[in-house]
């Protein structure tokens, strides 16, 4: 099962220690409080643009990342991946959950497999799909949460 609380847990690891908002992210205090003393509240802040440094990425990594985002740009593939956030599923279960046709689901799963986003295990004649790792499920959930926070103005 995919751990969908990673994002909030990761954000909870960081706090502003000293300084003001926008002064950067720092880990919360690691010193153990004296015996019997309760630790003080930890202020949690979201990183601001430019505060979190990213390592340099080569052109090939950027191209592969663009291919992943292209794959995530199709609502049918997003619906398939959303089913897999609940755990592994057979093609039949994905078809039932998404309402997509079996050939279309199989075609999308083939593309998702080629990008190393999903994995397949064969049990007899049945193919059972799951996320290859948790990275993509976190991207998907974060993007959906973002879309809910900022609904389109009609």
Contacts (Cβ under 8 Å, ≥6 apart) of 27 = 13, 14, 15, 17
pLDDT tier for residue 83 given thresholds of 50, 70 and 90: very high
Q: Are 7 and 139 spatial neighbours (Cβ–Cβ below 8 Å)?
A: no
Contacts (Cβ under 8 Å, ≥6 apart) of 128 = 88, 89, 90, 120, 121, 122
Q: How would DSSP label each residue in 111-131?
A: HHHHTTSEEEEEETTEEEEEE
Given a cut of 70, whether residue 113 has pLDDT beyond it is yes
- pLDDT value of residue 134: 87
CA-to-CA dists, residue 143 to 21, 70, 88, 123, 132, angstroms = 25, 14, 21, 32, 19
For each of the domains in the chain, give its residue range(s) and CATH number, in order of start.
1-52 (no CATH), 59-149 (1.10.10.10)
Q: What is the pLDDT of residues 11-70, one digit of tens each?
A: 333 333 333 333 333 333 444 445 555 555 555 456 676 666 677 889 999 999 999 999
Q: What is the CA radius of gyration of the chain?
A: 20
- pTM beyond 0.75: the answer is no
């Amino acid at each position: 099962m995919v751990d969908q609380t990673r994002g909030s847990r990761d954000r909870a690891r960081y706090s502003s220690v000293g300084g003001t908002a926008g002064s950067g992210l720092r880990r919360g205090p690691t010193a153990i409080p004296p015996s019997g003393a309760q630790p003080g509240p930890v202020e949690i802040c979201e990183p601001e643009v430019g505060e979190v440094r990213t390592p340099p990425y080569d052109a090939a990594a950027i191209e592969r990342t663009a291919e992943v985002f292209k794959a995530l740009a199709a609502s049918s593939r997003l619906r398939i991946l959303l089913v897999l956030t609940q755990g592994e599923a057979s093609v039949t279960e994905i078809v039932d959950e998404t309402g997509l046709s079996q050939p279309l689901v199989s075609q999308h799963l083939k593309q998702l497999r080629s990008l190393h986003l999903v994995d397949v295990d064969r049990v007899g004649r049945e193919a059972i799909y799951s996320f290859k790792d948790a990275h993509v499920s976190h991207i998907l959930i974060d993007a959906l949460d973002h879309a809910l926070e900022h609904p389109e103005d009609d």
